[in-house]
Amino acid sequence: MDEVDRELLRLTQDGIGLEERPFLHAARRLRISEEEVVARLRRLRQTGVVRRFGTRINPRKAELVANAMVVWSVPSDRIAGIGAVMAESPDVTHCYERRTIPGHWEYNLYTVLHCRDREDAHRRVAALSRATGAVDYRVLFSTEEFKRRPSGRIEPAKEPERLQ
């Protein structure tokens, strides 16, 4: 890794624009071609310096305003199978297991869905329930949007919006 790679990482660590030529800004700043930017990022990915290069969709801008975390109480001997089915669902953006707190919180499987409205969310959750046989669940809807910055800091959205 050379100084150009280090500067490229600094330029892209907080994201790139959703535009026709997303690497043009970095290429101009580094005085290299866009093709070289892509080649360097590919090499950094292949060598493990960059672990992941992904996109994040803003659900609100995509008119997906009913953000639901669904907590499921699943028998421990069925969690791997049910979790696998839910994780494969195109409706589920996150799926993970957590420990229960016996006597206080018995939910051990969590899924997140982004839907157009609450009715849509309830329909999709009911379909997941039918597909897996998991019937003990709660649907928790977001009430205020917060923004997670790429650096890991959590900050309120510039103008907090009440969600459905």
CA 22 to each of CA 38, 75, 104: distance values in angstroms, whole numbers, following the listed order:
10, 46, 48
User: What CATH class has 66-148?
Assistant: alpha beta
Cα dihedral sign for 102, 104, 107, 110?
Answer: negative
3-state secondary structure at position 104: coil
- pLDDT value, residue 99: 96
Span 100-124, pLDDT tens digits: 999 999 999 999 999 989 999 999 9
Span 51-91, pLDDT tens digits: 877 766 666 677 778 889 999 999 999 999 999 999 999 99
- pLDDT value, residue 19: 81
**Mean pLDDT, the chain, integer:** 87
Most confident range, picked from 19-28, 42-51, 67-76: 67-76
Percent of the chain predicted with pLDDT > 70: 84
Whole-number Å distance between alpha carbons of 131 and 87: 12
pLDDT at 148 over 70: no
- pLDDT value, residue 150: 54
Whole-number Å distance between alpha carbons of 87 and 97: 11
Domain ranges of the chain: 3-46, 66-148
